[in-house]
Structure 1
Amino acid sequence: MESTADPWLSAITVPGKLAVRKIHGRNGPFNVGNLVTPIGKFAVKDATLEQYPEGKYDGEFVISYIDAKAYPSGSGIRIEVRAMLDSMTLSGIDKLSRAEARAFSNQEVDPLDEELGTQPATPAATPLPEPVPIQASKDPLIDTTPFGVDTPSAAVAASGGPDSDDAALFGLLWPLSESVKLDSTIDRRTLRAQIARLGELGYALDFKSQQWSQQPDQQAA
């Protein structure tokens, strides 16, 4: 639906507390946030939240855009005021209280569904298909790589080597260094896959630096 309020067009920096809640939906787990600041309380659905563990964060937040969003919820319409973040500097984390956890709707819409233009799923809905792997031509004179996709990743994926899946997933970040900073502007499905894979590879997020670092026991393995 169309927004019901005029957005703010100039960024402002405010102190605040960001409560991040993990929701389990048909596309898998996703994160949503509630930001409480001196100028008001806002919902946050930015992709960068996908990286953070559930909890309440203190910090300063650069709000680039504020708007109202209306969408179907149950048998009615829900309206929330959203803040889009240009950046944030976090200084501490605590567990969510019961009241803070209950402040989130039981019918939170997965931002991925919003971006794809799909309706919230019913229990009997068919899951979204997995993305089709990119196949690069084996002929060096023919480039079949789609626009915006890094050719090295596509080529490694086509080679079937042991690192081909990770190389295709991480693109220019591959091979991974001991510290990795993800780009939250890529499509949300890929970002979620990168986050899950980093966890499998023994990386953990330092929320202050907003970088993933390989844990010492994993480095020695």
Structure 2
Amino acid sequence: MINLPGQLTIRTINGRNGDFNVGRLSTSIGEFVIKDALLDQYNEGKYRGDFVITEIRPSYYTTGGRLVVEIRAKLDSMTLDDVANLSAEEADRLSSTELDPIDEEPSSTSTPDTARKPHRHKSSPSTQPDDDAPFGMETSPTSAPITPQDADKQLFGTIWPIGPSVRLDTTVDRQRLRQQCARLGELGYELDFKLQLWTLSSLKQPA
């Protein structure tokens, strides 16, 4: 593990899973590709600070019929001092055809037991599944609809309820982290990149 000063350039790319961020870290010992999940919290730009690197390794993947070889660094943490906008030239250095890190992760496969269609027992007409119920699920006449608060509780998990400020757990899966960031934006939160803390803006209150 080493701690190095440097500049992290982040570019936002729109992929099939939605927007995601990729970065390049320039340091005194070289330039490295950064694809850690924690980048998805940040806006596009150039960030100066100190970076704790736990691993440097070569990485290979194919995209658009070509083989891409790059040197990646894995971040443990970072302390950021300031941010500046990207110039057009700097943005061009970060290819807009980068592969989404989610697509590089092994896809989960269902076992025969979990993939099998749930068995439905015969029921009386009064307990027949609702035609509007999700596939394989039955609704109960007494079941309450899911409220926005219930959905938020499920999305944020162990950090729910969120107060005026919240620090996200960047070790959760990438898709959930991106959804959390998007939801916080909808609720009027903004990321303080220096504190790495989402804080409720005084200009907008959550609905």
TM-score class, shorter: 0.7 to 0.9
Shift, 1:218, TM fit? 2.6
Structure 2: distance between partners of 1:101 and 1:172: 36
Bigger mean CA deviation after superposition, 195-204 or 75-84: 75-84
Aligned partners of 1:100 and 1:28: how far apart in 2?
22
Matched, 1:38 2:24: no
CA–CA distance in 1 between the matches of 2:107 and 2:160?
31
Is residue 168 of structure 1 aligned with residue 154 of structure 2? yes
Mark the runs of 5 or more structure 1 residues left unpaired by the alignment. 1-10, 119-157
The equivalent residue for 2:133 is none
Deviations along 1:170-194, whole A, 9 cap, x unmatched?
1122221000100000001100100
* Larger Rg computed on CA atoms: 2
Deviations 1:28-51 (A, max 9, x none): 000000000000000000000000
How does 1:1-221 map onto structure 2 within 5 Å?
A: 11-117=1-107, 160-219=146-205
Please list every run of 5 or more consecutive structure 2 residues that lacks an aligned counterpart in the other structure.
109-143
SS in 2 for 1:189: helix
Deviation per residue, 1:187-218 (Å, 9 max, x gap): 01100100000000000000000000000123
1: distance between equivalents of 2:93 and 2:179?
Answer: 28
Whole-angstrom CA distance in 1 between matches of 2:148 and 2:24: 41
Could you tell me how far apart the structure 1 residues matched to 2:162 and 2:16 are? Answer: 30
1:72-115 deviation line (CA, Å, top 9, x unaligned): 13332110000000000000000011221111123200001112
Look up the SS of the partner of 1:20 in the other structure: strand
Letter in 1 for 2:104: E
Q: Distance in 1 between matches of 2:100 and 2:49?
A: 25
* One-letter amino acid of the counterpart of residue 161, structure 2: P
Distance 2:72 2:148 in 1: 43
In structure 1, distance between residues paired with 2:76 and 2:171: 11
Q: Decide whether aligned partners of structure 1 residues 220 and 40 sit closer, same or farther in structure 2, where only a CA change above 3 A counts.
A: closer
With structure 1 as the length reference, what TM-score do the two structures score?
A: 0.74
Cα 1:160–1:179 shift into 2, 3 Å: same
Taking only the aligned residue pairs, the percentage that are identical comes to 52
Q: 1:88 to 1:31 in 2, by over 3 A?
A: same
Total equivalences in the alignment = 172
Task: State how far apart, in whole Å, the 2-side matches of 1:220 and 1:164 are.
Answer: 15
Q: Determine the C-alpha separation between the residues in 1 that align with 2:157 and 2:36.
A: 22
CA displacement at 1:117 relative to structure 2: 4.2
